[in-house]
Amino acid sequence: MRKRLKPLWRCPKCGEWFVTENMWHSCGKYSLETLFAKTEPHVFKLFKKFSRMVRACGPVRMIPQKTRVVFQVRVRFAGCYPRKSYLICSLGLPRKFNSPRFVKIEEYTQQFVGHQFRVTSESDLDDEVQGWLREAYRVGEQQGLTK
């Protein structure tokens, strides 16, 4: 039998959705144009490919923020930090994945382990990354919490 998840809470000031009421955040509306304004043109192309790969996993909300853009189903499970000539992409995965491609790994909970990797060319966004995104999408759905 599946446990029902609580409905998401919507911030009355900024309209963003969260899994818990009054979750701390900084209200604000940002744009992709502003976020990528100081990057080289190919960085936005890398982001667009990453975004297509995320959307191939299922319906998502894309939320530009001050320093990053994130993707959310119920929780935010993937994102990108634009740099001048590359992206740092982040994923919330259900366990620690061992790959030399990850430049940073942080365990937030047993079922949500943050992984970051650097993307400098479209070839960095390959089938392995698509597999990680599928796993991260399930984290975003909070699938592990519905059983």
Q: Indicate whether 23 pLDDT > 80.
A: no
pLDDT at 30 (0 to 100): 86
5 falls within a domain: no
Question: What whole-number distance in Å separates Cα of residue 52 and Cα of residue 41?
Answer: 17
Q: How many CA atoms lie within 13 A of 137 on its CB side?
A: 17
pLDDT tens digits for 112-146? 999 999 999 999 999 999 999 999 999 999 876 54
Looking at residue 20, what DSSP letter applies? S
Question: What whole-number distance in Å separates Cα of residue 140 and Cα of residue 144?
Answer: 10
85 falls within a domain: yes
Question: What's the pLDDT band for 13 if we cut at 50, 70, 90?
Answer: confident
42 falls within a domain: yes
Question: What whole-number distance in Å separates Cα of residue 1 and Cα of residue 147?
Answer: 7
With contact defined as beta carbons under 8 Å apart, do 120 and 86 qualify?
yes
Question: What whole-number distance in Å separates Cα of residue 79 and Cα of residue 87?
Answer: 10
Domain count, the chain: 1
pLDDT at 19 (0 to 100): 66
pLDDT at 24 (0 to 100): 60
pLDDT at 18 (0 to 100): 66
16 falls within a domain: no
Question: What whole-number distance in Å separates Cα of residue 131 and Cα of residue 93?
Answer: 11
122 falls within a domain: yes
Domain span holding position 140: 29-145
- Mean pLDDT of the region 23-32: 75
Question: What's the pLDDT band for 45 if we cut at 50, 70, 90?
Answer: very high
- Tokens describing residue 14: 């900024």
81 falls within a domain: yes
135 falls within a domain: yes
39 falls within a domain: yes
pLDDT at 1 (0 to 100): 43
